[in-house]
Structure 1
Amino acid sequence: MSSPHYVYFPIDLLGFHRPRLQLRKHVSQIPVLKQESRRCIRALANYTPRRKNIKYPRERCAAVLVALFVGRKGDLYVLLSKRASTLRTYAGDTALPGGKVDKRDRNAEETARREAFEEIGLATDKSKVPLLCVLEPFLAGNGVLITPVVVLVLDNMLRPVLNTPEVAQLFSHPLASFLSTESPFPQDQSMVEFPYYSYEDTPFHRGSPRKIRLHHFLTGREAGGVKPIFGVTAAIMIRVASIGYGLEPEFLLKAPSQPGMRERVEYASNENKRAQAKAKL
């Protein structure tokens, strides 16, 4: 059993809380569903994360809920939120609902569902919002290790209840568009000169010649003050779309000589240990 101060990702408790998804029964509740959306849902439901024995401080772990739903024309969309402008960190950013692991949470799914209920009022009823899969963790720029939990919202009668001190706005974005460089929506004339997709390469760590590629996608709402989808949120959504549709993105995913996630997590873990040791001096 792991130390109470650390968790291993992917969490080893996945087996007990992931019943076999009755895909035919669930998708029968959706009035219009394109074949590519059906295949995407099936691929995500069949996905099993690669097990990596990564040890990381529990207080530096979080989970986000990737809540997918089917639009009127049968395409898949994801729910995204604009963080409140009064928050101390990442104010106004576009994000997935989620947050830090609580000591009572048994696994990443519990964390993600609890946070999504607290932030946007998304039902925790698994018959209305069944689990599709849990992905490998992603390291955020602030050193927090984030586990994405992918679910499918079946009940179109569910209505969001925003926790306004945390969430300013809730909106959706086409899942397939995270693999494309073309805008999925008509752009506001004031935003025409900005590309839908862009990227920047940032140093792996201070003084390192190696880079990490950060991806940016416009939301179509920038003229109204909504920030682009970027950083770890963009990285997670690219991964979800790639697994679901079985396609590589139209753009280069990684910078030349970009370190893998394991190396990045190990470096961040060692930095945490050094910081803790320095604080004790």
Structure 2
Amino acid sequence: MTLPISDTPLSIPNGNLKSHEDDFAKIPEECLRGLSKESITCLRNLTTFQAPPITDLGLVKQAAVLVALYQKAGDDKLHVLLTTRAKTMRRHPSQTALPGGKVDPEDLDVIHTARREAFEEVGLPLDHPSIHYLTTLEQVMTILPLNSHMKNHIVVTPVVCFISDPSLLDDLRPNPDEVDAIFTHPLKGCLTGKLDAKDSAELVDIGGEWWPHEEKYHSTNDRIGTIGEYRMHRFRTTGSPIKGLTSDVLIQTAMIAYGTSTTYDRFALNQSPFPTLISNVVRDLPFHIDKSTNSGPVEWGGTEGERFKSSETWAAGQ
């Protein structure tokens, strides 16, 4: 079974524990040497998790992202590979992302999609003995502001891998058409909303461009979008902040890896779980696919009736 690292009761996202196969045993013993007990337990927990089967998503756009984990030299915990999207990108420019992108018809599966996109974006090898597949996680979905067109929803499948040779990261190079920067962040920080002194040393300034918040490490606010209430999580990093869908993926990853719930409240009071949100969009999209949205500005709602302008358009034809 999944092995909690702390004494907190086990609480993981929807899914099952694999009983018929342990992918952890497929990782060569020499690839685990030098890892801390914490890191080994995290990897074992991830390999024993099995997300629910992927259902028919109908007309909804699909994508996959790669959660690439590794243990830094001289450290005892796992870090995750992240990018800052290029300023020229049409969607989410200058935002933190996991390597990934849309599922192409010729892709063998979502694992292939995530690995292919990581190769195209940062040069992570498509096939390398030091990159070990661990699992795929429960699907998440982009959350859109009010008056967005439903066809702009994207369902994303997270694919988790372990990089046993961190020197591979030394050779990564950002594709300038898609990526402005490559950086990493401790996975555990997405579980606790805190960082230790070592990981806090080079964080961006509080109150600066990348972190205009008062909180030291973790900030949240609740918004109303097309699917109802949603809690936006933001994590302070050495680069662009982790937020939105990327934070949703990493929170789920951290909960499974550490075998426990977050130390903060994960969801807004009336927020539905992602499987429910995805099912609703799959059901309703065929009735909206050919309709335009001209019912007002694209903006987020507040839980007290406020309105907040969205930084992106999400219009019908985009």
What TM-score range do you get, normalising by the shorter chain? 0.7 to 0.9
Q: Hey, what does 2:64 align to over in structure 1?
A: 63
Identity of matched residues, %: 32
8 Å Cα contact 2:31/2:130 also seen in 1: no
8 Å Cα contact 2:72/2:166 also seen in 1: no
Deviation of 1:271 (Å): 4.3
Q: Could you tell me how far apart the structure 1 residues matched to 2:204 and 2:95 are?
A: 22
Q: 1:147-158 alignment to 2 at 5 Å?
A: 147-158=157-168
Pick the aligned partner of 1:247 from 254, 260, 279.
260
Q: Hey, what does 1:172 align to over in structure 2?
A: 184
Pick the aligned partner of 1:218 from 236, 249, 253.
236
Deviation of 1:116 (Å): 0.4
8 Å Cα contact 1:82/1:94 also seen in 2: yes
Question: What code does the residue aligned with 1:214 have?
Answer: M
Residue-by-residue CA offset, 1:22-46 (whole Å, 9 max, x unaligned)? 5475352245211011100011011
Q: 1:8-157 alignment to 2 at 5 Å?
A: 21=23, 23=25, 25-51=27-53, 53-57=55-59, 60-72=61-73, 73-141=75-143, 142-157=152-167
Residue-by-residue CA offset, 1:61-113 (whole Å, 9 max, x unaligned)? 00000000111123210000001111111110000000000110121101000
CA change 1:155–1:182 in 2 (3 A) is closer
8 Å Cα contact 1:215/1:231 also seen in 2: yes
> Is 1:197 aligned with 2:218?
yes
8 Å Cα contact 1:40/1:245 also seen in 2: yes
Q: Could you tell me how far apart the structure 1 residues matched to 2:156 and 2:27 are?
A: 31
Q: Which has the higher helix share?
A: 1
Counterpart of 2:117 in 1: which secondary structure?
A: helix
Counterpart of 1:28 in 2: which secondary structure?
A: helix
Counterpart of 2:246 in 1: which secondary structure?
A: helix
Q: Could you tell me how far apart the structure 2 residues matched to 1:151 and 1:108 are?
A: 13
Counterpart of 1:55 in 2: which secondary structure?
A: coil
CA RMSD of aligned residues (A): 2.4
* TM-score, normalised relative to structure 2: 0.73
Q: List alignment gaps of at least 5 residues for structure 1.
A: 1-18
Counterpart of 2:256 in 1: which secondary structure?
A: helix
8 Å Cα contact 2:59/2:286 also seen in 1: no
CA change 1:156–1:53 in 2 (3 A) is closer
Q: Could you tell me how far apart the structure 2 residues matched to 1:149 and 1:273 are?
A: 28
Q: List alignment gaps of at least 5 residues for structure 2.
A: 1-20, 144-151, 208-213, 293-318
Residue-by-residue CA offset, 1:89-145 (whole Å, 9 max, x unaligned)? 111000000000011012110100000000000012252211000011100124100
Q: Could you tell me how far apart the structure 1 residues matched to 2:153 and 2:138 are?
A: 16
Residue-by-residue CA offset, 1:137-194 (whole Å, 9 max, x unaligned)? 1001241000000001122332102211111110010011111122341366841744
Q: Hey, what does 1:162 align to over in structure 2?
A: 174
Q: Hey, what does 2:241 align to over in structure 1?
A: 228
Counterpart of 1:201 in 2: which secondary structure?
A: strand
8 Å Cα contact 1:32/1:74 also seen in 2: no
> Is 1:181 aligned with 2:193?
yes
Pick the aligned partner of 2:274 from 255, 261, 267.
261
8 Å Cα contact 1:84/1:165 also seen in 2: yes
8 Å Cα contact 1:54/1:262 also seen in 2: no
> Is the deviation greater in 160-169 or in 180-189?
180-189
Counterpart of 1:278 in 2: which secondary structure?
A: coil
Q: Could you tell me how far apart the structure 1 residues matched to 2:32 and 2:115 are?
A: 22
